[in-house]
Structure 1
């Protein structure tokens, strides 16, 4: 069975047991590690992988043969994307007409940024520049762009680049909606036994929580640029109760994000109920 997810610590932590034969009854998995921008593009293909991790923002474009699994993804509180600049201003108006680097135009981070900017930045931002995630903070530092939208471990490392926080989009979203932030989704082919697959992924999450030491070598092998402390902070932030079960709050958050984005013309309209198993 082909599965694709990122080499980020939260994903390798969650799927370690599943892909290492530690979940009873689960089949063997052929694993590919890929950045979220790559997996978002794979999700539209008729012959894409059996299972993959994508951004919730990419769900409206996913091939109809895929269903949303209720586990294995990333939602949460206090874990949202950040907008960074070189100066110390916290005034959103400073972004009016400016160049902003983003890691993907089909990401939750991008949707949150556009929704925030529509409400907070007079006249809107200027040019949106898509670049690989690891290039964004250096680009802001070097003045190639005026601001950068960053995710994941950048929350812990942006100070090393001499950058400052303009806004925390997760905090804005939570204050505005009261809901968690929907970041990464797990989708799978409808032709699979989705209930069994969901059960195996949930068991993999539970194994990771019960045996955190078991996955450390695997995690650090795929996170070589991170210190063990930053990798653990990453896991602590992004792996939570929603990783085991989206529950009603999780589905409400997904509907709120994609519903608002559709009204702004950022994504096609989508019926979340159609995606559920």
Structure 2
């Protein structure tokens, strides 16, 4: 594998923390990166169009891209106690027929919401609108939408917007399955070939380990892209979303991914995915 690897990931602290070492040439032998910062709705769309070599995407988009992209076993976001939240201005808001803002129609958050709402909102929600995740809480607060599905650091800050949590998609998922919640995946183009894919996975894993070995090294990079997040929230964000599954999905991580996609396929929310297509080359 030669030349520069084109990669897209979000400006969120977990991604900038994880990829800092690699993006700054601090991982020996890793390919040079050409980084594009983009929110999840953009990276999901880029993956569906087959653009860029490596992307951080939603696990929910995998059924549409696995022919072209391979799931890397490291670098992503999967864990416990980190699920998306459904927020509204008033506690106990009935979502039947209401307008709900979501970060992406292909997002794992929205897929989990649809699985939850099928039982929790018998009448069905009304209109779904896609907004960049950092615009969702202001939209709910200002009454432009009735409720919002939020991700990332919003679980730490929603109270400051005067909002209330109606449901935690992670709690619902974990209670039902006993498994961690798959959120964001790292994928790379299969056309790069097996050796190159393994080199990319090695680089991602080494970058994670470098971040843990010297957490302060990525501080300036993380702060520069943290979208006015406070240092305390930034630290909590990293602590929640960067964990052992980021270093390696492992058997439990893969089981969580397979279970999510199988359940969604059983409800005709996504195309069916074979176990082989999730296997790292």
TM category (shorter chain) comes to over 0.9
Per-residue deviation, 1:275: 3.1
Which of 226, 229, 233 aligns to 1:230? It is 233
Q: Hey, what's the Cα distance between the residues in 1 that align with 2:59 and 2:162?
A: 31
1:103 aligns with 2:103: yes
Per-residue deviation, 1:124: 1.6
Aligned length: 273
Q: Cα gap change, 1:224/1:126 in structure 2, threshold over 3 Å: closer, same or farther? A: closer
Q: Hey, what's the Cα distance between the residues in 1 that align with 2:57 and 2:122?
A: 31
**What value does the CA root-mean-square deviation take over the aligned residues?**
1.2
Please list every run of at least 4 consecutive aligned residues from structure 1 whose deviation after the TM superposition is greater than 4 angstroms.
none
1:155 aligns with 2:155: yes
Instruction: Summarize the alignment of residues 56-71 of structure 1 with structure 2, pairs less than 5 Å apart.
Output: 56-62=59-65, 64-71=67-74
SS state at 1:95 partner: coil
Q: Hey, what's the Cα distance between the residues in 2 that align with 1:45 and 1:56?
A: 16
Q: In 2, are the aligned partners of 1:45 and 1:63 still within 8 Å (CA)?
A: no
Q: Which runs of 5+ in 1 are unaligned?
A: none
Which of 255, 259, 264 aligns to 1:261? It is 264
Which of 21, 24, 28 aligns to 2:28? It is 24
Deviation string 1:174-231 (CA, Å, 9 cap, x unpaired) is: 0010000000000011224111211111111011001000000000011141011111
Q: In 2, are the aligned partners of 1:66 and 1:275 still within 8 Å (CA)?
A: no
Structure 2 residue aligned with 1:203: 206
Instruction: Summarize the alignment of residues 63-212 of structure 1 with structure 2, pairs less than 5 Å apart.
Output: 64-89=67-92, 94-190=94-190, 191-192=192-193, 193-212=196-215
Q: Which runs of 5+ in 2 are unaligned?
A: none
1:276 aligns with 2:267: no
Per-residue deviation, 1:63: 5.6
> Taking structure 1 as the reference length, what is the TM-score of the superposition?
0.95
SS state at 2:32 partner: coil
Q: In 2, are the aligned partners of 1:44 and 1:63 still within 8 Å (CA)?
A: no
Deviation string 1:130-164 (CA, Å, 9 cap, x unpaired) is: 22212211121122221110000111111111001
